[in-house]
Amino acid sequence: MAELVQRYLDDLVAEYAEVSDGALADYIPELTQVDPSGFGLTLSSSDGFLYESGDARTEFTIQSISKPFTYALALDQVGEEAVDAKIGVEPSGEAFNEISVDDKTKTPKNPMINAGAIASVALVPAAGPDERFAKIRDFYSACAGRPLEFDEDVYRSEKATGSRNRAIAYMLDSFGVLADDPDEVLDVYFRQCSLRVTSADLARMGATLARGGVNPQTGRRVTSTRVVQRTLSVMVTCGMYNAAGDWVSAVGMPAKSGVGGGIVAVVPGRLTLCVWSPALDPQGNSLLGLKALELFAGKTGLSIF
């Protein structure tokens, strides 16, 4: 069985080795420095065994794949009621960086778009930005099973060009969504997006969700099953930018993608697959990542539906 899985991943990588569609994200200038032909795949079984192929150990920035994990941390630390008072769970159908809130509640529609992700950061209790970032980094590292490093260049590049996120943070502040200074909250958000991961790290982080909050490699309980249940539900409906509907019908797994080119897809109780390929489609999803995951779901019949 192990050999079959490995061969399958190697075949997927070989099949896409020559494909060069899509484009690197360039609105964060530093992201254009990445090799667009990188392609890595990691599958984690529910007991934490990893199958890897291609550039599975190449580091890239986590970007939006950070969002479900900070949301989970906020739920874990302050509880559902406090989180729900500030962030909804409805798909927005809008671009990830839309400057918008829900018409009625004046809170972000969900935690997987930037507005909701910035609100999630502010919900993590801390005495200041450094402590808040340390908590976030520790939480991701506990899910990944190793201490994650931070990419200073990508962070500075995003901070220097992040007017749109600044507009979102100030809008949230004006609606009373952020309990702290918007610039400080945003700085932590930029830092969390600049944490460096490999597809193997993300497979382990996803596997921690697949196992209901226990990292299968370290055996450590990182959060509760209730927190994981809520996080995975929001990933199903809102995790794939404004292509969430297509994703659910074609692949049918809770997932999250990021403009660094990663996509992590979780089959609760069974496995996690992470694909990294930095060339993106117009929605901001990794083009080869989508193709590989569609093929995988079609072949294995692992849609949760």
What residues are annotated to the active site?
64, 67, 189, 241, 259
Which residue lies nearer to ligand GLU by CB, 97 or 110? Answer: 97
Min. distance of Cβ 80 from ligand GLU in angstroms? 24
How far is 12 from 19, CA to CA, in rounded Å?
12
CB of 291 to ligand GLU, least distance (A): 19
Dihedral sign for Cα atoms in the order 175, 178, 60, 256: negative
Shortest Å distance, C-beta 98 to ligand GLU: 11
Which residue, 46 or 58, is less far from ligand GLU as judged by CB? Answer: 58
The answer to the question of residue 97 lying near ligand GLU (CB under 6 A) is yes
C-beta closer to ligand GLU: residue 206 or 258: 258
Nearest-5° Cα angle at 160, 154 to 161: 95
* Residue among 63 and 208 whose Cβ is closer to ligand GLU: 63
Number of chain residues interacting with ligand GLU (CB under 6 A): 11
Closer residue to ligand GLU (CB): 9 or 266: 266
Instruction: Report the chain's C-alpha Rg in angstroms.
Output: 18
x/- binding map, residues 177-196, to ligand GLU, per CB under 6 A? ----------------x---
Q: Is 69 among the residues that bind ligand GLU (CB under 6 A)?
A: no
Q: To the nearest 10°, report the CA torsion of 248, 252, 256, 262.
A: -110
- 158 near ligand GLU (CB under 6 A): yes
Q: CB 30 → ligand GLU: shortest distance, Å? A: 11
Task: Give, as ranges, the residues between 135 and 154 that touch ligand GLU (CB under 6 A).
Answer: none
**Euclidean distance between the first and final Cα of the chain, in Å?**
24
Span 217-236, contacts to ligand GLU by CB under 6 A = none
Q: Which residues of 59-73 are buried (b: 16+ CB within 10 A; e: fewer)?
A: bbbbbbbbbbbbbbb
Among 116, 258, 261, 278, binds ligand GLU (CB under 6 A): 258
Contacts of 163 (CB under 8 A, 6+ apart): none
> How many Å apart are CA 117 and CA 26, to the nearest integer?
21
By the 8 A CB rule, do 159 and 187 touch?
yes
Does residue number 165 form part of the binding site for ligand GLU (CB under 6 A)? yes
Q: How far apart are CA 235 and CA 255, in angstroms?
A: 5
x-marked contacts with ligand GLU along 101-130 as a string, rule CB under 6 A: -------------x----------------
- Cα dihedral value 72, 74, 77, 80, nearest 10: -80
Contacting residues toward ligand GLU, per CB under 6 A? 63-64, 96-97, 114, 158, 165, 193, 258-259, 284
